[in-house]
Amino acid sequence: MSESQPEIRHFAKNWQQQLAEAFNNIEDLCRYLHLSPDDLPVSVAAAENFPLRVPLSFAACMEKGNPHDPLLRQVLPIKEELFAYPGFSHDPVGDLASATQTGVLHKYHGRVLFINTGSCAINCRYCFRRNFPYADLQLSKQKEDAAIKTIQNDTSISEVILSGGDPLLLSESRLARLIKQLDGIKHLKRIRIHSRLPIVLPARITDDFINTLTQSPKQIIIVMHCNHANEINDRVIAACNSLRNSAITLFNQSVLLKGVNDNAEVLCELSEQLFSHGIIPYYLHLLDKATGTGHFEISEAEALALMRQVQAALPGYLVPKLVKEQAGATSKQTIL
Ligand SMILES: *Cc1c(COP(=O)(O)O)cnc(C)c1O
Ligand code: SF4
């Protein structure tokens, strides 16, 4: 990958500046990719529902001039988002929306999901989050303290999962304060961070952030979110190396998406690439059926057929678990 002068200057900036300079409209992204919006099924109305947002670090992994690029498909607002698909609704995982009010969601034994922020560095078109206007939600200090108390008072909780939105969009000081508070809870064994930033904005993995994590007496796990091997560039690799060198366990979760990774070769290459950089493939999720995402759907039967091919080609530890989110269930449902 050879980068231009403006790109080199951009990647020298800190993560907040890189985020501020993320693409936020169709024209700019198309120009950068040497594509014309006229030749693509873009939709301004879809972009008004859920804005385009793509950091340059992610866009730089797309193939210039390719309207079918699997990374572009994840972020480009297109007309199909406006079609109605049967079985798709605004709130397929309902409780997450309510958890953003109190900050905690305790559905699974021993683990709580802690939601501090609703914003993300990238807007993925397939995400259920697209239908909620909580882009700028940030839990107040009071609510955060109340959520910490809840965790403190329940000794059955051994793991806190920081989720969102993207918890790594919290400022360094906010995050450090939060982790310090969790460090003080004796019965917690692990702190898990679910984030797409190591992939889409690897500049977020700063020395300060790593120091915050290494100072914690808890085991730290980062579950990142990568859907295609092309998302893994040199900056991503460097960020993952520094995390691993600090004894942080790295997992990945992906979403199975039509036109992105619905192909056994692509899934195998993703697992191989992840593992070669010390990241263990953990989950492959079926799509949450959120309004506006129907064109990404892969049926359970198709997904199983793909998984059989992947299983035949890879060692077991490189085969992610195929799962789906089911309202009311006490764990993710594994599809066998
Ligand atoms: C996915 C999820 C978890 C974590 O589940 P694991 O199977 O441990 O990865 C915890 N709580 C909720 C509500 C979840 O949706
Ligand atoms: S929550 Fe994850 S999948 Fe959804 S928009 Fe944010 S980064 Fe993308």
Which CATH number does the domain housing residue 132 bear? 3.20.20.70
What is the position in ligand 2's atom list of the atom closest to the CA of 164? 1
How far apart are alpha carbons 284 and 74 in whole angstroms? 16
**The two structure tokens encoding residue 142:** 């009071």
Q: How far is the CA of 239 from the centre of ligand 2 (A)?
A: 19
Between the alpha carbon of residue 182 and those of residues 145, 150, 204, 215, the distances in Å are: 11, 11, 21, 12
What are the pLDDT digits (tens) for 28-72? 999 999 999 998 999 999 999 999 999 999 999 999 999 999 999
Q: Which of 107, 111, 254 to mutate to test the pocket of ligand 1 (most atoms within 8 A of CB)?
A: 111
- Residue identifier of the C-alpha nearest atom 6 of ligand 2: 120
Answer whether residue 230 is part of any domain: yes
Rounded to two decimals, what is the model's pTM?
Answer: 0.96
**pLDDT tier, 94 (very low <50, low <70, confident <90, very high otherwise):** confident
Task: Indicate the residue among 82, 103, 126 that finishes a domain.
Answer: 82
Considering the domain architecture, whether residues 54 and 124 belong to the same structural domain is answered as no
What is the position in ligand 1's atom list of the atom closest to the CA of 282? 9
Considering the domain architecture, whether residues 74 and 154 belong to the same structural domain is answered as no
Answer whether residue 104 is part of any domain: yes
Considering the domain architecture, whether residues 241 and 299 belong to the same structural domain is answered as yes
Q: In what order do the strands lie in the sheet with 321-324?
A: 104-108, 111-115, 159-163, 190-195, 219-225, 249-255, 280-285, 321-324, 333-334
Q: Residue 164's pLDDT is what?
A: 84
What are the pLDDT digits (tens) for 96-113? 777 777 889 999 999 999
Considering the domain architecture, whether residues 62 and 107 belong to the same structural domain is answered as no
Considering the domain architecture, whether residues 256 and 149 belong to the same structural domain is answered as yes
Q: How far is the CA of 328 from the centre of ligand 1 (A)?
A: 12
Mean pLDDT for the stretch of residues 135-162: 91
Considering the domain architecture, whether residues 109 and 137 belong to the same structural domain is answered as yes
**pLDDT tier, 139 (very low <50, low <70, confident <90, very high otherwise):** confident
3-state class percentages of the chain: helix first, strand second, coil last, to nearest 5: 45, 15, 40
Using a 10 angstrom Cβ sphere, with 0-12 exposed, 13-18 middle and 19 or more buried, the burial of residue 170 is buried
Nearest to 118 by CA among 92, 137, 146: 137
Considering the domain architecture, whether residues 44 and 118 belong to the same structural domain is answered as no
How far apart are alpha carbons 146 and 140 in whole angstroms? 10
Task: Indicate the residue among 48, 82, 116 that finishes a domain.
Answer: 82
Count CB atoms within 10 A of the CB of residue 233: 16
Considering the domain architecture, whether residues 42 and 125 belong to the same structural domain is answered as no
Which ligand approaches the C-alpha of residue 52 most closely?
2
Considering the domain architecture, whether residues 108 and 174 belong to the same structural domain is answered as yes
Considering the domain architecture, whether residues 67 and 99 belong to the same structural domain is answered as no
User: Is the beta carbon of 161 within 6 A of some atom in ligand 1?
Assistant: yes
Considering the domain architecture, whether residues 66 and 136 belong to the same structural domain is answered as no
Least confident residue range of 77-81, 87-91, 158-162, 288-292? 87-91
Considering the domain architecture, whether residues 12 and 37 belong to the same structural domain is answered as yes
Which ligand approaches the C-alpha of residue 195 most closely?
2
Mean pLDDT for the stretch of residues 231-244: 98
Domain count, the chain: 2
Secondary element (H or E) of residue 195: strand 190-195
Q: Residue 327's pLDDT is what?
A: 79
Q: Residue 1's pLDDT is what?
A: 58
Residue-range definition of the domain harbouring residue 21: 5-82
Ligand 2, CB within 6 Å, residue ranges: 120, 122-124, 127, 129, 166, 196, 225
Using a 10 angstrom Cβ sphere, with 0-12 exposed, 13-18 middle and 19 or more buried, the burial of residue 147 is buried
Query: Residue 334: beta bridge partners?
Result: 323
Answer whether residue 65 is part of any domain: yes
User: Is the beta carbon of 107 within 6 A of some atom in ligand 1?
Assistant: yes
Answer whether residue 14 is part of any domain: yes
Collapse the DSSP code of 77 into the 3-class scheme (helix H, G, I; strand E, B; otherwise coil) and give the result: coil
Nearest to 78 by CA among 5, 136, 135, 130: 130
- End-to-end CA separation in angstroms for the chain: 39
Q: How far is the CA of 105 from the centre of ligand 1 (A)?
A: 10
What are the pLDDT digits (tens) for 16-27? 999 999 999 999
Answer whether residue 244 is part of any domain: yes
Task: Indicate the residue among 20, 54, 82 that finishes a domain.
Answer: 82
Count CB atoms within 10 A of the CB of residue 272: 14
Answer whether residue 88 is part of any domain: no
Q: How far is the CA of 122 from the centre of ligand 2 (A)?
A: 7
Q: Residue 221's pLDDT is what?
A: 98
- Residue identifier of the C-alpha nearest atom 8 of ligand 2: 124
How far apart are alpha carbons 298 and 308 in whole angstroms? 15
Answer whether residue 90 is part of any domain: no
What value does the mean pLDDT of the chain take?
A: 94
What is the position in ligand 2's atom list of the atom closest to the CA of 127? 4
**pLDDT tier, 134 (very low <50, low <70, confident <90, very high otherwise):** low
In percent, the amount of the chain with pLDDT more than 70 equals 99
Query: Residue 220: beta bridge partners?
Result: 191
Q: How far is the CA of 124 from the centre of ligand 2 (A)?
A: 6
Answer whether residue 101 is part of any domain: yes
